[in-house]
Chain A
Amino acid sequence: MSIHFQGHHLPVAGSKEEPLYALGARFETPEALVHAVDRLRDKGVSLYECFTPYPIHGLAEAMKLPKSILSLLVLGGGVSAVLIALSMQLIPSCIIYPLVVDGKPLNLLALPQYVPIVVALTLMIGAITAVTGMILLGGMPRWNNPMFAWDLFAKDASRGFFIAIEARDRNFSTSALTELLHELGAGDITAIHQEASEEK
């Protein structure tokens, strides 16, 4: 099976005139995908992305992805919420307009009465941080993506485990990678070009 032969028969998604975005392939089992990631890493390929219909145990470890920093962000959000909630209650209650009821204290001695709002606001801001953090760290919102040029992927990504190796990778070579992906048992290997913009 010559490289030249494969190069010729590689299906193309998107517009051929546009630059090549990535080489896409589909695996049928999560094991095969994790195995492929290992092999690609051994070959020095680093700019690739895996697409799975549900989280795969061990895939992120195989890709050597760092632990998500989301928990740190949420901690930051929570701590600042505590400070916001405390000052929101203490500054009006103690300084701007002290509302003395039954001569009860309003300062930090009366801390328990401020706790419910602190807890509620901390949880709310923590949750908002978690969701916006997940969206932004995951590169969203992004409604266009070169991957959508690949019909097989765009029509039903839940039907398999996909990988896309970006053309700007240092070790990218259509022929070598096609052969490697074949060897790893990938199907539907496709050259994904960007879609022609509609203005043209």
Chain B
Amino acid sequence: MSTPSIITATETERPDLHVLERPPQVLNNRGPLWVTDAVCSIVEGKTPLWWYAAIAFTGTLAAIGGACILYMICTGVGVWGSNSPCFWAWDITNFIFWVSMAHAGSLISALLFLTRQRWSLSISRAAEAMTVFAIICAGVYPAIHIGRVWFVWFLFPVPNSYGMWPNFSSPLLWDVFAVTSYLTVSSLFWFAGMIPDLAVLRDRATTKVRKFAYGIVSLGWLGTARQWRHYEMMYVLLAGLTSVLVVTVTTIVASDCATSVIPGWHATIFPFYFMVGAVYSGSAAILTLLLPLRLIYPQLRDLITPSQLDKVCKLLLMMGSCVAYVYVFELFNAWYSANPFERGAFWERFTGSSAWYAITCLSINLTVPQLFWFKAVRRCLPLVFILAILCNVGMWFERFMIVTSTLTHDFLPSSWGNFHPTIVDILTATGTLGIFFTLFLLFIRFVPIMSMNELKAVLPGTQPHAGVGHSNHSTEETH
């Protein structure tokens, strides 16, 4: 029997059973084979010149950041600007910034998967990658900010040399467990989702090295019905676990601040505050990452459709509005509490030495996302890119504002102070940016940036349906 590609033949029109038509997952009626080629071609093609240039730049930033960390470890935390009363400064600011960015990646892939928002399928892999890399960047800080890094094992659940155990009621210890489990779970979620796609790369590999490398990491995946059965179950379970974990981790990170009695931190709204801020900054980050990719690889334009980007913009708008609500509520609460310290902290925030970054944060976060009410703005992708970067800048300033402006102005005027970053602070922060983008560039180059199997499974005509083709009893079972 000759084998013309009937797979493409099944893509022809079939009766539309949906009452409300979804926007197409992949534009231009592309078939499963096209999806495979489009996604694999990014990995299989010759390494483009821009990639070398980009990774040289980000790698240098990361190396400088690494050198700064080494210098800090050898010399002491005095090389940072953190000092009494502001013992937490850029270290915790950046930790919260990165870990928050990670949250949106998990939410986009896990929560939207659980709620069957199919539009997120083509961006979920990149979102998960963003999560893993952002947690790696976040993880840089907690370990080094303790000063004497070689005592980091005091945080592990083992007795120290005096026979003392860590204080399990401390939110800082909860943080260790939360971030460790978050990194583990999101890495597993990312890797497990990739196994079938890595097997596709293994099958298509032309060189021995690639065949071997992809062969090892794909663990011998064959796509048998039994494997898919367990795989689908695992995916649902992991999505469920990850969704809960995201909320837990943000809550715990927020508790670092909220369980203290410092005015400006001691608020029950903090977990929600951090959560919405996280999804807000993460949605902005995913737009910042995907829009250039779409420009560089034209084949992705059919896979990351304007309609999907539009939905991410709407998510950004919704979360931006929640963030605005929290800002207003925080100010209202400070006034309504009639607590002079609480009022003083917020008054100082907008009039004192921290005013410039508090005002930067508010002016960006209260206005920029509101522009996404307009369809013309959401559809103008260069503008979306710029606004998304602005949102992330705004969020960084928000974290900075929360951490430093609160610490520099608590109860006693004698313990008020100020914070000025040093060059080591700045280079370490840009170093984490370097680490993040270096990892993301490696991700683009070596693994499929989209979940091919998930995309193929929802393309029109790729699933057996009753009433189409055969009318035997097996198709009835599919419903």
Contact = CB atoms under 8 A, between A and B. Distances in A.
Interface of A: 26, 28-32, 34-35, 37-38, 49-63, 65, 67-68, 70-71, 74, 88-89, 92-93, 96-97, 99, 101, 104, 106, 110, 113-114, 116-117, 119-121, 123-124, 126-128, 130-131, 133-135, 137-145, 147, 154-160, 182, 185-188
15 contacts: A29-B7, A53-B456, A54-B452, A56-B228, A92-B165, A96-B159, A120-B174, A121-B181, A124-B184, A127-B237, A135-B219, A138-B227, A142-B219, A143-B220, A155-B203
Given A54-B462, A60-B229, A127-B242, 14 more contacts: A68-B233, A70-B237, A74-B237, A88-B157, A89-B168, A93-B168, A101-B167, A104-B169, A117-B177, A119-B248, A131-B234, A134-B230, A147-B222, A158-B203
A97 B168 CA distance: 12
Which of B185, B200, B474 has the largest number of chain A CB atoms within 10 A? B474
A54 B233 contact: no
A30 to B, nearest CB: 5
B386 to A, nearest CB: 37
Nearest to B192: A131
Interface stretch (B135-143, B344-352, B465-473): B465-473
Contact of B165 (A96, A128, A160): A96
Contacts of B242: 123, 127
A134 B192 contact: yes
Interface in B444-476: 452-454, 456-457, 462-464, 468-470, 472-475
Interface string B210-228: 0000011001111111111
Interface of B: 1-3, 5-7, 10, 32-33, 36, 157, 159, 163-165, 167-169, 171, 173-174, 177-178, 180-182, 184-185, 188-189, 191-192, 196, 199-200, 203-204, 215-216, 219-234, 237-238, 241-242, 244-245, 248-249, 251-252, 255, 452-454, 456-457, 462-464, 468-470, 472-475, 477-478
A140 B234 contact: no
A61 to B, nearest CB: 5
Contact of A28 (B3, B184, B185): B3
A55 B453 contact: yes
A130 B248 CA distance: 19
A51 B234 contact: no
A65 B230 CA distance: 11
Contacts of B456: 53-54
Contacts of B165: 92-93, 96-97, 99
A54 B189 contact: no
A54 B32 contact: yes
Contacts of B220: 139-145
A49 B228 CA distance: 12
Contacts of B245: 120, 123
A139 B195 CA distance: 13
A30 B234 contact: no
A57 B478 contact: yes
Contacts of A138: 221, 224, 226-227, 230-231
Given A58-B478, A97-B159, A120-B245, A128 B184 contact: yes
B238 A34 contact: no
Contacts of A128: 184, 188
A61 B478 contact: yes
Contacts of A37: 474
Nearest to B228: A55
B203 A141 contact: no
Contacts of B252: 116, 120
B3 to A, nearest CB: 5
A116 B255 contact: yes
A89 B174 CA distance: 11
Given A61-B478, A130-B237, A130-B241, A185 B215 contact: no
Contacts of B470: 31-32, 35
Given A51-B222, A65-B225, A114-B168, A35 B6 contact: no
Contact of B230 (A51, A70, A126): A70
A134 B1 contact: no
A8 to B, nearest CB: 17
A38 B7 contact: no
A56 B225 CA distance: 8
B128 to A, nearest CB: 13
A38 B227 contact: no
A123 B244 contact: yes
Given A61-B478, A113-B168, A116-B248, A30 B464 contact: yes
A32 B3 CA distance: 14
Contacts of B36: 53, 158
A57 B464 contact: yes
A60 B10 CA distance: 21
A80 B199 CA distance: 33
A53 B39 CA distance: 14
Nearest to B164: A97
Given A88-B157, A127-B188, A58 B464 contact: yes
Q: Which 8 A-B pairs have the closest CB atoms?
A: A58-B478, A124-B181, A28-B6, A92-B165, A134-B234, A138-B227, A68-B233, A113-B169
Nearest to B179: A120
Given A29-B469, A133-B234, A157-B203, A56 B464 contact: yes
Which of B169, B178, B199 has the largest number of chain A CB atoms within 10 A? B169
